[in-house]
Structures are given as C-alpha cells and as structure tokens.
C-alpha cells in the first residue's frame, strides 16, 4: 500500500530548497547567456544586412561604367 503522507524532516526540506535555489541560479545564468547570444546574432545580422546593402549600392553605381566600357569595346572591336 502507498502511504498517503510522506513526512520530511526540516533538514530534508532545507536541502530541497537549496537544490532548487541552485537550479534556479543555473537556469537564470543560462537564460542570460542565451539572451546575450541572441543579441550578438541580431547585431551580426544587422551588420551583414548593412554590408549587403552597401555592396548592392556600389554595384548599382558601377553598372553605368560597365555599360559604357562594353559599348566602347564593342565600338572598337566591331568594324
């Protein structure tokens, strides 16, 4: 038969409280680590987006020069 009540001593309860407090401490530290990692990844993604935008802008600035050079090359090479 399963007993309905389990009696704990004060020392048992104190140990359980200490174990739970330690586990809470570890979980809070892990949460802060994950939050920090997420912030780092957000900043890296923003930086990457900015670099892509800058590269696309630079590419668009070069397109007219390339077209001009291609026209010039075609004019020179085509009799």
Query: What is the model's pLDDT at position 67?
Result: 87
Residue 16 has pLDDT above 80, yes or no: yes
Query: So what's the pLDDT on residue 20?
Result: 97
Q: Which residue has the higher pLDDT, 33 or 4?
A: 33
pLDDT in tens, 25-73: 999 999 999 999 999 999 999 999 999 999 999 999 988 888 888 888 8
Model confidence pTM above 0.85:
no
Chain position carrying tokens 């007993």: 3
Domain ranges of the chain: 52-79
Q: In 10 A of CB 24, how many CB atoms?
A: 10
The pLDDT value given to residue 1: 59
Taking the C-alpha atoms of residue 43 and residue 35, their distance in angstroms, rounded to an integer, is 12
């Amino acid at each position: 038969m399963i007993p309905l009540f389990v009696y704990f001593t004060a020392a048992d309860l104190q140990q359980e409280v200490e174990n739970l407090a330690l586990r809470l401490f570890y979980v809070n530290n892990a949460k802060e680590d994950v939050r920090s990692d997420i912030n780092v990844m957000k900043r890296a993604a923003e930086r990457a987006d900015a670099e892509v935008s800058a590269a696309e802008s630079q590419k668009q600035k070069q397109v007219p020069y390339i077209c001009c050079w291609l026209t010039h090359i075609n004019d020179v090479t085509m009799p």
